[in-house]
């Protein structure tokens, strides 16, 4: 862990931007256009790193219950899920590739929250792109909260890595995952420097949580939260908060904190905005001087943490390779082989 501290230029400064905005709910094409415009606004201000909120692409339909009661699912709720499913994106896929192009075209590191579609399941994910346009990291939310568990699957330990980049070691922890002490410890042990916390939590308690993580991990914390109004959703969207287009469903509160707990960007609850801060990476080493919770301030003789980073598959085929879903050529070959054995 000391290597990444010693190899940095101690006074190198980078500029980070938090984008506080919401998507065009259930319209992925318009959301992608909006995202590109927001990035194009942040990049000319010198941003090296641009962080967008949780579920920006794909949306966070706050106030929906998806027609669920204990033991009951309604047809209307299934329709809501179908629309949500169709708004999600594949990774890899055309929208994911376009996000890489946006990062490349603007010369920035881009972190964006997406709803990822994989088979019949949706995941709340965070994607990290380098200025080359390459996807360098994908994190799937390990623990959806409350009703989120109805519409999102659970990530596994294979996506809790930290990406080494030209501006530092970047990691993402999504919304209430930040309340999981063991997950935070796994991030600190990987030497996270730029701790990104995309969220939709707009409560007053979020800022002290982010300050605690920055102090605990001696890292910069960059948290982008949505600002989302009822008018950002379509006519057929019926959140419990009502149908007034001016109703604020997610009020923002994005912030940036330095490794000593100082607030570089204060939460703003007034509307959509882009906030920037210059990050002096020498503060990381200065902070580690008296607190390194995965190093000299740990007590491995008393405490230890084991992290299983193996991907967990629901179905694992042993033996000969199986036909890949959607690969018609392999399926036809298999059928042809079977028919030659048993023409009946």
CA distance from start to end of the chain: 64
Separation between Cα atoms, residue 173 and residue 221, nearest integer Å: 10
34, 141, 275, 288: which is the annotated catalytic residue?
141
Catalytic: 36? no
Catalytic: 177? no
Separation between Cα atoms, residue 278 and residue 219, nearest integer Å: 14
E strands in the chain:
13-20, 49-51, 68-69, 72-73, 109-118, 121-129, 135-140, 163-165, 168-172, 194-196, 220-223, 227-229, 248-251, 255-257, 263-265, 273-280
Q: How far is CA 235 from CA 26, 113, 244, 246, in A?
A: 11, 24, 11, 14
User: Residue 184 in contact with residue 176, Cβ under 8 Å?
Assistant: no
34, 62, 95, 175: which is the annotated catalytic residue?
175
Catalytic: 62? no
34, 54, 95, 124: which is the annotated catalytic residue?
54
Q: At what angle do helices 94-106 and 28-42 cross, to 10 degrees?
A: 10
Separation between Cα atoms, residue 316 and residue 299, nearest integer Å: 38
Q: Which residues carry out catalysis?
A: 54, 141, 175
């Amino acid at each position: 862990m000391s290597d990444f501290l010693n190899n940095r230029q101690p006074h190198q400064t980078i500029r980070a931007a938090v984008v506080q905005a919401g998507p065009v709910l259930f319209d992925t094409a318009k959301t992608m256009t909006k995202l590109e415009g927001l990035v194009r606004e942040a990049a000319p201000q010198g941003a090296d790193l641009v962080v967008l909120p949780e579920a920006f692409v794909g949306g966070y339909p706050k106030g929906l219950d998806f027609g669920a009661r204990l033991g009951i699912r309604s047809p209307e709720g299934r329709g809501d899920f179908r629309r949500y499913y169709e708004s999600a994106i594949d990774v890899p896929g055309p929208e994911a590739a376009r996000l890489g192009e946006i990062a490349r075209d603007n010369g920035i590191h881009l972190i964006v929250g997406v709803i990822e579609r994989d088979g019949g399941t949706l995941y709340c994910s965070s994607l990290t792109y380098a200025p080359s346009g390459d996807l360098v990291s994908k994190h799937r939310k390990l623990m959806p909260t409350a009703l989120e568990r109805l519409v999102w699957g659970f990530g596994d330990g294979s996506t809790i890595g930290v990406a080494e980049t030209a501006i530092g070691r970047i990691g993402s922890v999504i919304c209430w995952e930040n309340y999981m002490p063991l997950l935070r410890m796994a991030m600190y042990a990987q030497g996270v420097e730029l701790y990104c916390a995309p969220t939709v939590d707009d409560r007053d308690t979020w800022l002290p949580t982010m300050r605690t993580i920055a102090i605990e991990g001696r890292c910069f914390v960059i948290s982008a939260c949505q600002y989302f109004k009822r008018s950002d959703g379509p006519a057929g969207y019926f959140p419990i908060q009502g149908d007034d287009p001016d109703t604020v469903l997610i009020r923002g509160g994005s912030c940036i904190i330095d490794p000593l707990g100082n607030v570089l960007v204060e939460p703003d609850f007034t509307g959509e905005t882009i906030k920037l801060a210059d990050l002096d990476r020498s503060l990381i080493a200065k902070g580690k001087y008296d607190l390194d919770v995965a190093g000299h301030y740990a007590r491995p003789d008393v405490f230890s943490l084991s992290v299983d980073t193996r991907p967990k598959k629901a179905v694992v085929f042993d033996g000969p390779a199986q036909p890949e879903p959607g690969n018609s050529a392999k399926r036809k070959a298999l059928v042809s082989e079977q028919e030659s054995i048993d023409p009946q």
